[in-house]
Amino acid sequence: MKGKMILPLAVFFGLLAAVPSGAATRTYSTEVTNTITTGDINISLEEFQLNPEGRRIPYVDGKLVVPGQRVDKIVTITNEAQKAWIRAKVEYNTKDGLEGMSDDMLGGISSEWKKCGDYFYYTEPVDTAETVDFFRQVVVPWEWDETCEEKGFSIGVTAQAVQAANFVPDFQTMEPWFGIPVEKCIHNSHKIYQVDTQAEFSVIFENGSEGFIKTGEDFFGNFQSMLPGDTLTDTLMLGNHSGILLDFYFYTDIPEQEEASRRLLDQLQLKIQMEDTLVYEGSLGAEALREGILLGDSFRKGDVRNLTYTLHMPRELTNASALLSARVRWIFKTEYRTGGSGGSSGSGTSPRETPTIQEKVQELVTLPGYISVPLSGAADLAERAGEWLLPRTGDNSHRGLVLLVFLASGAAAVILAGSKRRGTCQTHGKEEHGNI
C-alpha cells in the first residue's frame, strides 16, 4: 500500500494580478573621498651677532680679530617642519696656512649637544618651529702671533635633520643615526596638516529610499600628516537598520591627481578588519579594491559592526614622498532582489543571492502556524513552500497542507494546516486533494 499524499494547495484571493512575474535588483551605495597627506623634515640655519644693546642682528663677515678675542657669532638651527632630531658638522678652512683651528674655538655650546664622530648631535628632539642655538662665540687661539697677521680663516657649519617619529638615535655610539642617508629637502613651503579634534564615522543602511546614511566627510580626517614608518588606525560603524538581510561590499576609485600622489597610494598599505575578521590587507591603490571585496554578510536588522582600517607608510620611503596629498574614493554598496527567483544580477563582484526561503521564514514568522512576508518575496515562498515548509519523512506520513494567500493589503500569508497522521491508508485509484 502506498502512503496517502496531501498535496500543497495554493488559493489566491484579491489582487492576483499584482503578483510579480519577474525580478528587479535594487542597488544602493554611498561614497566618501578620503585624503591622506605626507609630512616633511626641513631645517634652516642662521648666523647672528649682538649689537651694542645686546640684541641679535644678522652676522657680518670679514671681521678683524686678534689672538684671544671672543667674537659673537651665534649659529641657530630652526625646525621648519615636523618634529626632528638635529645634528651639525663644523669645518675649519683657511687659504693662508693657519694652523691650530679646532672645536676649542667654539664657545657657548650647551650640554644638550654631544660630539659623536664628525658631528655634534642635539640629544633632544626639536619641535616644529623651535629654534636651538649651536654655538655662540668664536674664540681666536692665543697661540696665533704676529706671524698670522693678515691671514684669514672661516668656519663652516652644515646642519642635518631626521624625523623624530619612528626613529630613536643611540647616543652611546659613534654613529647615533646608524649611518642612514640624509637627503636634501626639496620643498620651500612646509605646511603640515595637524588634527585638532577626533571625528566619529559610520555607514548605516536605513529603511526607505534613502539607502545608506553616512557620518563623516573624510574617513582619513583623524589622521595626521604621515611620515615613513607611521601606522595610523581608525574605525567606523557599519550597520543595517532595515528589515532586509544584507551583505555589504567595499570598492575604491582613484580620482584624477598627479602621478606622485597615485604612486603614494600604491605604496601605502591598508588593512581592513570587520570585528576580529581580516577582510583585506594590501596596497591602498590595488586593483583588487577597485573590483570590490565583501566586507560582511548577513547583516540583519539592528546589526552594527566595527570596521577597523589601518594605514601604514613603509619606512624606506624617501623625500620624494614628502608633502604629498593623495585622494582615494571609498564606496560602500549593497543590493537585493525584489521578487522572482534565481541569483543576483550584475557584473563583477556582487552581493550573494536573495536570502533562502528558510532565512525569510525564520526572519518573518509572527505567529505559530502563520508567516507573513512582503509581496516581493511571495514568489520564492510559493515556489519552495512545498519543498521546505512541509517536512519529508520518507513515507509521506508527516505531510501537511500549505495555503499561500495573496491579500489585498499587498502582503502574502502562508498558512500551515498540519497533518501528523501516522501509518498508511488505502487509495482507490484516484488522487485526493485537501479541501478548504
Provide the pLDDT for residue 146: 86
- Residue 266 cell numbers, joined: 600604491
d(CA 99, CA 142): 12
Which residue's entry shows cell 580620482?
255
Strands in 56-58's sheet, in edge-to-edge order, are 56-58, 43-50, 74-79, 131-133
Strands in 293-299's sheet, in edge-to-edge order, are 25-37, 325-337, 246-253, 293-299
Provide the pLDDT for residue 407: 43
d(CA 212, CA 202): 10
Length of the chain measured in residues: 436
Provide the pLDDT for residue 342: 41
pTM above 0.75, yes or no: no
Taking alpha carbons only, the member of 270, 261, 305, 310 closest to residue 290 is 270
| Ranges of the chain whose pLDDT falls below 70 | 1-23, 186-194, 208-209, 338-436
SS3 content of the chain, % helix, strand, coil (to 5): 10, 35, 50
Provide the pLDDT for residue 187: 66
**DSSP secondary-structure letter at 226?**
B
Q: How distant, in Å, are the alpha carbons of 9, 27, 250, 327 from that of 253?
A: 51, 18, 10, 9
395 φ, ψ (degrees, to nearest 5)? -110, 10
Provide the pLDDT for residue 10: 40
Taking alpha carbons only, the member of 384, 382, 369 closest to residue 412 is 382
> Considering just the CA atoms, what is the radius of gyration of the chain in Å?
38
Residue 188 CA neighbour count, 13 Å, CB half: 0
pLDDT tens digit sequence for 123-170:
999 999 999 999 999 999 999 988 888 899 999 999 999 999 999 999
